[in-house]
Amino acid sequence: MDWETIPAMVASAGDRFGSAEAVVDGSLRLSFAELAERVRVAAGAYASAGIRKGDRVAVWAPNSAEWIIAAFGLVTAGGVLVPVNTRFRAGEAGDIIRRSGSKILLVQKGFLGQDYLAPPGVPVIDLKSDFLAGGSPYVCGGIRGEDIADVVFTSGTTGRPKGAMMNHRQSLRLYAEWCDLADLREGDRYLLVNPFFHTFGYKAGLIASMIRGATMLPVPVFDVPHVLDVIERERVTMLPGPPTLYHSLLQARHDRDLSSLRAAVTGAADIPVELIRRIRNELPFQSIMTGYGLTECGTATASRRWDSFEDIATTVGTPCEGVEIRIAGDGEVLVRGYSVMQGYLDDPEATRAAIDTDGWLHTGDLGSVDERGHLRIIGRKKDMFIVGGFNAYPAEIEGFLLEHPAVAQAAVIGVPDDRLGQVGKAFVVARAPVSERELLDWAKKRMAGFKAPRYVEFLDELPLNSTGKVMKDRLR
């Protein structure tokens, strides 16, 4: 790796890949050289607006070419990027913008009818305005690899979001390796369905594409017919996404031209082995990667090319280079290495709680490591509940419930019980008629008594965050 900072890497992409296509966003097509120039101009716009080295700026907008230019332009001006979840309401976003101390907020006005407001005193700039094109080419001097490059806030599924600080060098090293693990190649056409406000979308998406020289095709709203249209029209080769996306591809494989697809990246606590086998055998993909990561450390583990279908489906691979994984006595997954965050922004107490004195990041996830070093995620530590002295893991119970033909989605939490301390309650989205009693009786026959839920509540949909995780605090 020849660069210490993200701005240096982005500038070099303009030289290394020149006239090759860097971004395709609707009718807009930019080469790497053109993108690098627009980034320098955007940096000048930030400098003219008073942004200095170390100043934070929030971007609250969907995936677009302008988001890419805004983010790389900001770090080129010496600023620190604070991405904001587009699903947040004004109050939630305002809390993050205020706590991050962002000097400016960039938005895409009118997106999904959202009212993009900032706290008092923070200017709001529309990404689609001429702001990014209004500066003189500029590059901030004195940026170092150890300087903070971004503050990405956690999803807040178990409490108030916290801002994880990462420096330039960490992200460049980790996502250069990610390119190899995911088989991202120069000239690939990468459909960016993961939101840029999330670590995967920004780092495994934009930063990885600039490192490797892949064409970036941003998708602002995930819509399967639109995704299929773009795959056909733009000859997409790299496609990350949740298991549900690959189910859709399998259904569409006879009606659509998917022949350009080569590399898949997916991830979930547990993926059916048969789905991985079908992705490999019935779709054109030559490689499939799954992995495990957090906002606080980026990608920590990943599958390898030689892993079996079962390995890819039931584990999250082995540690990345320079990263250690250990299972604590209570089953918690611990991560240590160069990629662990520099801490939570303005929250030393939470930082001390997350990273112990030996440098181990306490992930809050429960897992196990097999004799070959493959990590398996069992569930969230905070989700685990104790039934009459026995540990019950919601992810395991949810896996059983999903085997019922009438269950489309399931989420399990522990609720108080006078006799046993806690028992399981399942929240279920049904795909066919089924009663609570039927489901409870079915569960008792298939899992140990302490695991079987005592209650079922049917919902039209589960509360999900932007990355598809169930927000169990809302269920509680």
pLDDT tens-digit profile of 212-269? Answer: 999 999 999 888 899 999 999 999 999 998 887 898 999 999 999 999 999 999 876 5
pLDDT over 60 at 87, yes or no:
yes
Average pLDDT of the residues in 131-144: 98
Query: What is the H or E stretch that residue 428 is in?
Result: strand 421-430
Q: How far apart are CA 123 and CA 113, in angstroms?
A: 20
Do the beta carbons of residue 178 and residue 303 sit within 8 Å? no
Residues above pLDDT 90, as percent of the chain: 78
Name, of 148-152, 265-269, 385-389, the range with top average pLDDT. 148-152
pLDDT tens-digit profile of 299-352? Answer: 999 999 999 999 999 999 999 999 999 999 999 999 999 999 999 999 999 999
pLDDT over 90 at 206, yes or no:
yes
Helix boundaries (H) for 315-419: 348-354, 394-401
pLDDT given for residue 92 in this prediction: 83
Do the beta carbons of residue 195 and residue 62 sit within 8 Å? yes
pLDDT over 60 at 139, yes or no:
yes
Query: What is the H or E stretch that residue 392 is in?
Result: strand 390-392
How many structural domains compose the chain? 2
Question: 406 and 347: one domain?
Answer: no
Residue 207 lies in a domain: yes
Helix boundaries (H) for 219-332: 224-234, 243-252, 273-282, 309-314
The amino acid that residue 152 corresponds to is: V
Do the beta carbons of residue 332 and residue 295 sit within 8 Å? no
| Among 324, 355, 375, residue at a domain's last position | 375
- pLDDT band for position 396 (50/70/90)? confident
Q: How far apart are CA 224 and CA 55, in angstroms?
A: 38
pLDDT over 60 at 158, yes or no:
no
Q: How far apart are CA 189 and CA 212, in angstroms?
A: 11
Question: 236 and 330: one domain?
Answer: yes
pLDDT given for residue 412 in this prediction: 94
Do the beta carbons of residue 104 and residue 125 sit within 8 Å? yes
Q: What is the CATH number of the domain that holds 317?
A: 3.40.50.12780
Question: 185 and 279: one domain?
Answer: yes
* 38 closest CA partner among 151, 169, 147, 127: 127
* 383 closest CA partner among 158, 146, 175: 158
Q: How far apart are CA 269 and CA 32, in angstroms?
A: 36
pLDDT given for residue 347 in this prediction: 96
Q: How far apart are CA 230 and CA 420, in angstroms?
A: 53
Q: How far apart are CA 447 and CA 453, in angstroms?
A: 10
Question: 444 and 300: one domain?
Answer: no
pLDDT given for residue 60 in this prediction: 96
| Among 344, 375, 406, residue at a domain's last position | 375
Question: 212 and 257: one domain?
Answer: yes
Residue 149 lies in a domain: yes
Q: What is the CA radius of gyration of the chain?
A: 23
The partner residues of 81 in beta bridges, in order of sequence, read 57, 150
Question: 49 and 96: one domain?
Answer: yes
Q: How far apart are CA 372 and CA 167, in angstroms?
A: 32
Do the beta carbons of residue 230 and residue 220 sit within 8 Å? no
Between 202 and 274, the higher pLDDT residue: 202
List, in order, residues 6 or more apart from 168 with CB less than 8 Å away.
4, 5, 6, 75, 143, 144, 145, 146, 147, 149
pLDDT given for residue 388 in this prediction: 82
Question: 158 and 276: one domain?
Answer: yes
At CA 295, angle to CA 41 and CA 386, rounded to 5?
165
pLDDT given for residue 269 in this prediction: 54
pLDDT over 80 at 114, yes or no:
no
Question: 308 and 389: one domain?
Answer: no
Whole-angstrom CA distances from 313 to 278, 317, 473 are 12, 10, 27
pLDDT given for residue 54 in this prediction: 98
Burial of 449 (0-12, 13-18, 19+ CB in 10 A): exposed
Question: 323 and 398: one domain?
Answer: no
- Please name the residue that has the structure tokens 């690959």: 246
pLDDT over 90 at 390, yes or no:
no
Residue 1 lies in a domain: no
The amino acid that residue 397 corresponds to is: I
Question: 343 and 417: one domain?
Answer: no
Average pLDDT of the residues in 431-445: 95
Burial of 418 (0-12, 13-18, 19+ CB in 10 A): exposed
Which of 71-75, 103-107, 161-165, 221-225 comes out lowest in average pLDDT?
Answer: 221-225
Whole-angstrom CA distances from 319 to 263, 311, 338, 372 are 20, 14, 12, 11
Residue 394 lies in a domain: yes
Question: 423 and 465: one domain?
Answer: yes
pLDDT given for residue 465 in this prediction: 72
Q: What is the CATH number of the domain that holds 430?
A: 3.30.300.30
What is the model's pTM?
0.87
Residues above pLDDT 70, as percent of the chain: 98
Do the beta carbons of residue 70 and residue 59 sit within 8 Å? yes
Average pLDDT of the residues in 125-154: 97
Question: 90 and 142: one domain?
Answer: yes
What residues make up the domain containing 285? 6-375
Residue 422 lies in a domain: yes
- pLDDT band for position 467 (50/70/90)? low
Q: How far apart are CA 238 and CA 221, in angstroms?
A: 18
| Among 375, 402, 421, residue at a domain's last position | 375
Residue 302 lies in a domain: yes
Average pLDDT of the residues in 46-57: 98
Residue 240, SS3 per DSSP: strand
The amino acid that residue 203 corresponds to is: K
pLDDT over 80 at 168, yes or no:
yes
Do the beta carbons of residue 64 and residue 25 sit within 8 Å? yes
Q: How far apart are CA 175 and CA 182, in angstroms?
A: 10
Average pLDDT score, the chain: 93
pLDDT given for residue 418 in this prediction: 82
Residue 33 lies in a domain: yes
Between 62 and 245, the higher pLDDT residue: 62
pLDDT given for residue 160 in this prediction: 78
pLDDT given for residue 117 in this prediction: 85
Average pLDDT of the residues in 265-282: 84
